[in-house]
Amino acid sequence: MSPVNVTIASGASWQEVAADRQRHRDATIASLNPPLPKLSASDIPLDTTGIPGSILTAKELEITEKNVEDLVSLLASGQWSAKTVVQAFMRRAAVAQQLTNCVTEILSERALQRAAELDDHLAATGQPVGPLHGLPISVKEHVGMKGYDLNAGFVAWVGQVGEEDALILQILWDAGAVFYVRTTQPQTLMHLETRSNLYGTTVNPFNTTLTAGGSSGGEGALVGLRGSVLGIGTDIGGSIRSPAANNGLFGFKPTALRLPVSGWSATMAGSDHIVGTIGPLSTSLEGVSLFVRTILSGRPWLREPSLVPIPWRGKDQLEERARGRKLRVGVIWDDKVVRPHPPILAALSRVVAELQKSDEVDVIEWECWKHDLAWEVIAKLYFCDGAAEEKAAIAASGEPLLPLSKWILENPHVREHTISTLWQAHEERQAYRTSYAAIWNERDVDVILCPAGPGVAPKLETARYWGYTSQWNLLNYPAVVFPVGTKVSREESAQGKQDNKEHEYPEAYKPMSEADQYNYDLWKEHGVDGYVGAPVSLQLVGRM
């Protein structure tokens, strides 16, 4: 099957391939009607979040400012048509692309055809197709769509094509969803920011000098600008939670083998040393919940047998399990490897203070156990061929190796394993998981509250510490990122309202590690002014 709108000639340079992909993306945006004004660099401020309000119509703004739970009700009742809703989101997504470079293509023909079918069905039967009837959902590019390019961020892979929709898309489609836009990802899919030689750098809508996160950074920026309110990301070291945190969103990394991943495209297919997972980014917690409930109600384990066959466990079941005792929340202030920047510690302090006011919650200090070792173990298992397949995919087109690709692929823990060294690495993984589980059992906590990263959204090309997210991939624990409702503010910091002074680095601070020195230097160099506008988020970790 030929991919949709890939027109590159045989033997084209990597620059020509990238130019073709960008032309295609721009053409899909130009096809929207009525046309959108073209913004110049001088039109784009540091904080871009106010720009959609100056471009879109009042109705488009009303629609795109609704959350998932509001939209599904309005669509199911017929108060708003699927066509009207998807048109509004396509236009806002196109604006988001100009502001942050987050889109690989708008799927207007496919989306409008789907929307018309849904509207006709509702008119004819009076019933919605399913719980997501007419809901626009954005999709990270490497989640396959039938007939569409599936390059996974590699120039050499342009022209590969999805043979069918990924299983997760099939289930969402049956529930009534509309897929209308695909989003950017980084070279290798292994950055905590989003930059590729195909599309360039995706930036943060709240402060364009910062990263939107990665590897689902296109989703993060798009949902952050409400060009989507529910999108699909993937995560093997923080790739859902990093963009969710950086853009002030809810993002959920399920336990691996909980939601279906068949049909995505990535290197090292078949590797099960550290298993990636797939999940939602949303403007609301209910959007996350509805996404997961819908997927599990489709019983994906019947078609992807490796999945854990556990249905949705509802709120009543969880309350029954906790009945008779308080909720026990363990708190990680720092992981003893990297101290978080002051805005994160200040936010964590505020949340803990609120929890301590509750008669239904016990808060305990969680002493981290060998989180530095956790990084050594997981980094050793990310690229068991010594990153040979990743490097070959990059070399095949002649595209340059990007700085954060080089940083992760040439990490000192990366090695080409023999069978015996791989077995040994698996034993180390299992031993770490067993030890951590024993500690959790002993302390008897229900969840852990912790930072989602060593700071708010990092400066571009500086996201080099994964420990606050990859820790939970190694342990295979589910984790959700949530915004705390504040942003880094120059004015509030100056007035002491953020309590940053209490959480500033002490005089003559001695970093705990090389990674901590790096993170400390970033704060010393940029301080509040460098991160102004960035949302502040935290992470909640559980066990399946």
239, two tokens: 């790739």
pLDDT digits (tens, 9 = 90+) for 508-541: 999 999 999 999 999 999 999 999 999 999 999 9
Q: Does domain 16-302 have CATH number 2.60.120.1440?
A: no
Averaged pLDDT, 325-345: 97
CA dihedral of residues 422, 428, 434, 437 (deg, nearest 10): -110
pLDDT digits (tens, 9 = 90+) for 356-405: 999 999 999 999 999 999 999 999 999 999 999 999 999 999 999 999 99
pLDDT digits (tens, 9 = 90+) for 441-485: 999 999 999 999 999 999 999 999 999 999 999 999 999 999 999
| CATH fold for domain 326-541 | Amidase signature (AS) enzymes (3.90.1300)
From 510, 509, 481, 528, select the one nearest 251 (Cα to Cα). Answer: 481
Out of 66, 83, 140, 487, which one is annotated catalytic? 140
The pTM of the whole model exceeds 0.95: yes
pLDDT the model gives residue 2:
44
Tell me the DSSP string of 415-427.
Answer: -B--HHHHHHHHH
pLDDT the model gives residue 325:
85
Q: In this structure, which amino acid lies at residue 358?
A: S
pLDDT digits (tens, 9 = 90+) for 186-244: 999 999 999 999 999 999 999 999 999 999 999 999 999 999 999 999 999 999 999 99
Catalytic: 489? no
Task: Catalogue the E-assigned strands of 327-388.
Answer: 327-331, 361-365
Q: In this structure, which amino acid lies at residue 164?
A: E
Whether 529 and 490 have beta carbons less than 8 Å apart is answered as yes
Whether 513 and 372 have beta carbons less than 8 Å apart is answered as yes
Backbone angles phi, psi at 139, to 5 degrees: -135, 125
Whether 147 and 163 have beta carbons less than 8 Å apart is answered as no
Q: In this structure, which amino acid lies at residue 342?
A: P
Give percent of the chain above pLDDT 90.
Answer: 92
Give percent of the chain above pLDDT 70.
Answer: 95
Out of 215, 282, 405, 537, which one is annotated catalytic? 215
DSSP symbol at 40: P
**Mean pLDDT, the chain, as a whole number?**
95
Catalytic: 215? yes
The secondary element (H helix, E strand) that includes residue 316 is helix 315-322
pLDDT the model gives residue 10:
75
Question: Is pLDDT at 4 greater than 70 in this prediction?
Answer: no
Strands 230-235 and 136-140: parallel
pLDDT the model gives residue 542:
97
Cβ within 8 Å of residue 408, ≥6 positions away: 188, 190, 191, 382, 414
Out of 81, 138, 239, 289, which one is annotated catalytic? 239
Catalytic: 138? no
CATH 3.90.1300.10 in the chain is located at: 16-302, 326-541
Residues in the chain: 544
Whether 481 and 468 have beta carbons less than 8 Å apart is answered as no
Tell me the DSSP string of 464-530.
Answer: ---HHHHHHHHHT--EEEEEEEEE--HHHHHHTTT-HHHHSPPTT---SSHHHHHHHHHHHHHHHHH
- Residue 1 — pLDDT band, cuts 50, 70, 90? very low
